[in-house]
Chains A and B, each alone.
Chain A
Amino acid sequence: MKTFYSSVVELRQEFVTDIETHPYECGWADEAIFFVEVHAPEPGVRLGLRVQLSPDGIRWHDEGTVIDTGTSTFARVTHFGGFLRLAGAAHRPDGTAAPATISVRLALKG
């Protein structure tokens, strides 16, 4: 049997400006899915998040996967080394930054 674990990395967490989720160690896993849920979003606000990976949980690089949602969505990730997080921000239609309350669940298998 493979190992499976889902971590609720962020639960109803309010981010006022920049969004950076907790550095999550998951080198044991072969595959990951980030589930992102936006709570009570302002009308028109979009969440733009980039999947990032890291050699040490401190120095981060864009992995290439991008999330753009106003409600909820998911992103699949593979071949990510030891650490994963999401980074980005929420924006109003006019481009100004908006606060956002989000939950992020990370489903891992390997």
Chain B
Amino acid sequence: MPFSPTGYFDPLPRILVADDFDHGMNGWLDLRPNFVAPGFREHSDDIDLIHWGPTMLSSATFAFGGTHGSANGTYSLKISSRAAAAPPDQPPAPGSMGLAIKRLAVPPGVRRLRVEALVAYKVEQDRPGLGVNDLRAFGMFVDLQDGEHRYMPGVRYVNAVEGSPVRRWQYYSPTTATDEEWSYGADGWHKAGIDPQWFGERAADGSTVATTWFDDGEQHLIYNESDDKLNWTPFSLTVDLTRRCYEELRVGGKVLRFPDGAHPTLAPAYDDIQGLLNPVFFVEADTDRRVSLFLDSVLVSAEGELA
């Protein structure tokens, strides 16, 4: 995994993976359900999980600006939605999101985990004007499971809701929903708090039963003044694995503080995934227009040694 280090990154001492998308997909791929039902059908059908937009290597090429390239080189990872969206208080519409995942495992002794990236987000330039408010949200979470709990610490930038700007960060927080409520009435595979990016009742303001707004979470990120101009923005989320809680979020020039001890829902452990470490980046459309999240590179680092 060749990597071009830049001053944007501030990793913890142990580099787990350093992914520069000038050198391929680096193990990132579409997040898809488990095709374990008869006929290779998906494991549950509570909502449509099989039609999210595909992930690809992008040169960030546009009709009028030409090739934008990436922060270091030509290619970035482009996570794209399809041209679909549901109202903000409804479950996500088929294809309204794009999600990319990388599947790793927690090495011994790790106490802290940091996921860093250089990101940019755009709306497809398929019509005149500025499309910034056609992108509802983007975010990142990590799927983790230790000996007792599966949990998904993560953050979401709510950019716009029903065409109106929001520009605020929220984080995944505990829910009291039952498993059935969590899965929109289908009591099946999913435990409450797991996969908060698409489960859990949604509200008209862009929140869900498993999100909490940061107190100082308003941030006007650089969308730029046209749908074909992008600015690579540093992102960094740090999680304490021993306390299963958040430490810090850094985005652009801002440091966002979590309340002490803030953590996501701690769900019961699932079978066959103890020790997983799966970072996921995602993007959500707000209207019937494709939206994309671009990642120049991703750096996953950790702190902690063998006793």
Contact = CB atoms under 8 A, between A and B. Distances in A.
A51 B53 CA distance: 19
Pick the most buried of A3, A9, A11, A12: most chain B CB atoms within 10 A of its CB: A11
Give the interface SS of chain A, mostly helix, strand, loop or mixed: loop
A22 B53 contact: yes
B51 A11 contact: yes
A83 B50 CA distance: 23
Interface residues of B, number: 25
Contacts of A5: 24-25, 57
Contacts of A59: 63
A55 B62 CA distance: 8
Interface residues of A, number: 22
Interface in A43-82: 55-59, 82
Contacts of A82: 59, 61
B82 interface: yes
Given A3-B24, A5-B24, A28-B75, A22 B54 contact: yes
A82 B59 CA distance: 8
Contacts of B125: 56, 58
Given A3-B25, A11-B32, 9 more contacts: A8-B30, A25-B56, A26-B56, A27-B59, A28-B75, A56-B61, A56-B62, A57-B124, A58-B124
Which 10 A/B pairs are nearest by Cβ-Cβ distance? A56-B63, A3-B24, A25-B58, A25-B56, A7-B54, A11-B50, A27-B59, A5-B25, A9-B54, A58-B126
